[in-house]
Amino acid sequence: MTWGWRIVILIVAVIMAITAYLMFGYGISALPVPGKVESAFATTARNWYLAREANKVPPPPPRAPGDVTAGGGLFGMECASCHGHTGRKPSPIGRSMYPRPADLGSAAVQKLSDREIFAVVKNGIRLSGMPGFAHINSDAQIWQLVAYIRSLGKAQSLR
């Protein structure tokens, strides 16, 4: 047998092993906590797309005094059902999703730029429970939500 054929057989065996793993080693239940390796891969891919989407977002408007309060009001009505009242601890529904919503005050979320957070809220995140609010909120309201999320972390400034 030539090396070419050995490599072909090896590739086919690897594809079969991956398929078997996905078919039998995996389920569609949302209840298990997503594994570390899977989360790392999924988050890296998501952040790559997010950085591209954020490039299409216009620069944030100057922050108005009532933005954090207004954003907090919208958050309570539209987001708390999954993200919890403050956004720092997901609700029981949020904790039953796959992937789970993150603590919005955590370093992992606060390191996103304002335009990236805007893109998440406006467009949503495909293959997760995060809806896009483009048809629900105006851009001005979405910037207020961004201001509220920023107020949960240490970084307060709009970039």
Q: Which residues are at the interface with ligand HEC (CB under 6 A)?
A: 46, 75, 78-79, 81-83, 97, 99, 101-102, 104, 109, 117, 120-121, 125, 128-131, 133, 145, 149
Provide CB contacts within 8 A for 141, sequence distance 6+. Answer: 70, 71, 74
- CB of 21 or CB of 41, closer to ligand HEC: 41
Max alpha carbon distance in the chain (Å)?
A: 75
> Token pair for residue 7?
């490599």
Q: How far apart are the first and last CA of the chain?
A: 61
- CB of 51 or CB of 97, closer to ligand HEC: 97
Least CB distance from residue 68 to ligand HEC, whole Å?
13
- CB of 9 or CB of 77, closer to ligand HEC: 77
Least CB distance from residue 59 to ligand HEC, whole Å?
18
Cα gap 7→10, rounded to integer Å: 5
